[in-house]
């Protein structure tokens, strides 16, 4: 199946929006920032910083009356990577996006990335979910293919830009 460019809406708490705008501007578009965040997910997983919600359904974000809607057209392959990552962690895709932004913000504040440890990038994320026929228990597995090289920068047309409401 050829991936499309689905329209999606990320739900971002208003308090996190100024940081997202700053990082969007630094990366040029939200989707290139999302690509960067997904690339960092392998490192976050190694460090034990990604959630692991042990339940069959996905965990949603807490109700927040300040939620801002960010409408984005995400390339299908990047959307699939986010879906796999979110599913492996047991959260919704929008919640995963917010979690990744918060981890990035924490890294920027503490300069966590600076040091002797190499930067790792997710090359591909594989997510498997199964139900044991004998015990009825749902299991989730995630596999990261990791590279020391950053993901290739795609040349994205203006139509991929995001607008925050």
Please check whether residue 55 is in contact with residue 90, taking contact to mean a CB–CB distance below 8 angstroms: yes
Q: Give the pLDDT of residue 25.
A: 94
User: Does 160 map to a domain?
Assistant: no
CA atoms within 13 A on the CB side of 71: 4
User: Does 163 map to a domain?
Assistant: no
Domain tally for the chain? Answer: 1
Give dist(CA 130, CA 149) in Å, integer: 32
Q: Give the pLDDT of residue 158.
A: 40
User: Does 44 map to a domain?
Assistant: yes
User: Does 133 map to a domain?
Assistant: yes
Q: Give the pLDDT of residue 53.
A: 72
Please say whether the dihedral angle defined by the alpha carbons of residues 48, 54, 58 and 60, taken in this order, is positive or negative.
negative
Q: Give the pLDDT of residue 143.
A: 65
Structural domain for 74, as ranges: 7-155
User: Does 71 map to a domain?
Assistant: yes
Who contacts 33 (Cβ-Cβ below 8 Å, separation ≥6)? 20, 23, 24, 26, 27
Per-residue pLDDT of the chain (165 residues), as tens digits, is: 555 666 788 989 999 999 999 999 999 999 889 988 988 887 888 888 988 776 666 655 666 778 888 888 888 878 888 888 888 888 888 999 999 999 999 998 887 654 434 444 445 666 666 767 788 777 766 666 655 555 555 434 343 334 443
Q: Give the pLDDT of residue 127.
A: 63
User: Does 1 map to a domain?
Assistant: no
Tokens 């392998």 appear where? 42
User: Does 81 map to a domain?
Assistant: yes
């Amino acid at each position: 199946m050829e991936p499309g460019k689905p329209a999606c809406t990320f739900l971002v708490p208003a308090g996190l929006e100024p940081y997202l705008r700053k990082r969007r501007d630094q990366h040029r578009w939200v989707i290139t920032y999302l690509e960067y965040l997904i690339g960092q997910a392998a490192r976050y997983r190694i460090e034990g910083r990604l959630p692991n919600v042990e339940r069959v359904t996905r965990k949603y974000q807490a109700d927040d009356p300040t939620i801002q809607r960010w409408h984005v057209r995400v390339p299908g392959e990047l959307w699939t990577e986010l879906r796999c990552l979110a599913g492996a962690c047991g959260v919704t895709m929008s919640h995963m996006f917010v979690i990744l932004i918060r981890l990035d913000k924490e890294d920027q504040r503490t300069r966590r990335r600076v040091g002797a440890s190499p930067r790792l990038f997710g090359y591909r994320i594989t997510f498997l979910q199964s139900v044991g026929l004998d015990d009825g228990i749902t299991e989730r597995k995630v596999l990261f293919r990791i590279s020391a090289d950053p993901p290739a920068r795609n040349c994205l047309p203006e139509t991929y830009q995001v607008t925050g409401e």
